[in-house]
Amino acid sequence: PESAKVRVNHTRTLSMDTTMPHLHALIAGLILATVARGAHAQTTAPMPSIESFWKIRAPAQPVLASDGTLYVRDWPDGVRQLYRRAPGHEIDAHLEPLTDFEDGISSFALSPDESKIIISAAIGGSEQNDLHLYNTATGELTTLFTNPDVVYTFHIWLRDSTGFIYGANDDSPSDFHIYRYDLATGTSTRLSDRPGHWITADVTDDGTRILLNRYFAAFHAEAMELNTRTGETITITDSDDTAYRWAHAYAPGEQRVLFVSDHPTGVRRLYEFDLATHLHDAPEIGSDAREVESVELNEDRSLLALTFNEDGFGTLHVYRLPDFNEVGITTGEPGLIGDVDLLGDRLTWTLSNARNPGIAYQKGVFTREMPRPITTAETQGIDLGKLTLPELITYTSFDGFEVPAFLYLPPGYDKSQGPIPFVAHFHGGPESQHRPRFDAQTQFLLTRGYGVIKPNVRGSAGYGVEYVNMDNYRNRWDSVKDGVEAARWLVTNGYAERGRIAAYGGSYGGFMAVATVIEGPDIFGASCNVVGIVNFETFLEQTKSYRRALREAEYGPLSDPAFLKSISPINRANDINVPMMIAHGLNDPRVPIGEAMQLAVSLQQRGYDPELLFFPDEGHGFAKLSNRLLFANRFIDFLKNTIGE
């Protein structure tokens, strides 16, 4: 199939370490190997059970209009598009497709007057989003901004729906300036040209003041208010230079700002900042044991909805403003809460867990009614209620540190049956977190007798700033050792045996999948690296420039090449002695394809034959269903051939 091919005319986009001997001479061999294996995949019929699991879904990003019209992102044909369901229809009624972008859409935003939608869409996984305007009455779709050299980011609608605020790195790749677009005139006005990556969070009713956040790294951000008429700014708290301070919204009256910070407690909490006195305080909500994840207000700012992260699970709480009196809300079974929206006193959200792919619910805040589903899941005939829920465990790492992990076991499995093949799945980020959400691949592996462990190694989000910083810069390899110890815990506790554990992960998790088999050669039997980093020098040099400073803050600066070399798996490739699968998108703007090529070439030079899968129409991950299915089939075959069944 086309998705399995790497055409020669795509090689000009590859960025590789040209100091590697014989590199260019081997590129053609890599391409031919991938094409040949793609042709083999074409003759092998996909396992229906794999396809069934991967087609389980629920519409995403549900937005309810005031008349009951529902807008969602969905992918019945394998590519995410914008859909609409008219009011008065049952939840399983046909969804009307509104867009037909070849590579789908990234996101959408309904205007306050519900007459227009801004749609963000990119080509081929490039993340170079264009902005389009959709008229909800006429269906007219107009492209507003498109430039292959510029990243456009929609921020927020003006509250009167006459325009919106967006960001663009049109002057410098690493600087996102702030603009206001006027729909009547079709013109843009620059509001801020400050250096850095800025994002608009809220705007006053009259459109003259906005809340801006500058993103430095996952746990370093600063916030300010900008008066768009005078240019005057107010910094939202003066704090430690490396603290996280993110302004979310104006409080009632627009004289106070709700913001989230991890200073001084080390855990993300909600605070209120007074724009007149410049003083701030913390409302009596939450606790230091849970982190604030999202902040949503209704249109008149009288209700506040907060989601919290508690050991990876999500909880939803609603408060009256300005007094922060809590209104009791029941969300049902445990899982992850997302896509929270408040329209008046009507609350909507999605819930995802191992048995729920993200169904959306609605409830009146002040009613006693139970949450009512407003979307339904496409189950492919699979009884989701019988899928496996994870167990939250902790294990002791090399230095006595306790690491949390989610353990998934096949249905009906008991340790008395003996060890089974296992997959150690490492998350990306690295400031991400494994959470008990629905995962089609995990559930399919469980039905085939594989166990899965998902460790949240040091450096993961969700456990406070101290935890997330434990892997920064020179502590990078400590998180790798945490990953190895997860596999050792499986063996020690009788779940798995040496040589029958596969390391697997994407992005930073791909780095972990390679690094752990280097650090623990006696414990792993295979490794699958998806869009992963293998050479931190070339990665930092060739990632998109607007991302470079963010990544240097995490991994170390290019000015310290000796250290970057020391943590780069490519420099220890001779220590890789297990079968390797490498999958990557050729248009990846985050981890360029050269990372995959370097590893593949190095292994081939040593006589190894890595399993290769390169997608010319994908970027940092695989968005199209056809490509995800191809990867899933190749991955399960790889596991069967390496760690067994």
Question: Which pLDDT value is given to residue 505?
Answer: 98
Which parts of the chain have pLDDT scores under 50? 1-48
Of 438, 424, 211, nearest to 333 by C-alpha is 438
Distance CA 611, CA 3 (A): 16
Of 196, 246, 213, 244, nearest to 547 by C-alpha is 196
Strands (E), 379-534: 391-396, 402-408, 422-426, 451-455, 501-506, 526-530
- Give 168-205 pLDDT, tens digit per residue: 999 998 899 999 999 999 999 999 999 999 999 999 99
Question: Which pLDDT value is given to residue 127?
Answer: 84
The domain spans of the chain are 2-53+387-642
∠ Cα 539 544 546 (to 5°): 120
Phi and psi angles of residue 550, each rounded to the nearest 5 degrees, phi first: -65, -40
Question: Which pLDDT value is given to residue 287?
Answer: 65
Q: Is the dihedral of CA 637, 642, 644, 645 positive or negative?
A: negative
Cα 176 to chain centroid distance, Å, stands at: 21
Q: Are 278 and 232 in contact (CB under 8 A)?
A: no
Question: Which pLDDT value is given to residue 552?
Answer: 80
Pick the CATH number of 2-53+387-642 from 1.10.357.10, 3.30.2350.10, 3.30.56.10, 3.40.50.1820: 3.40.50.1820
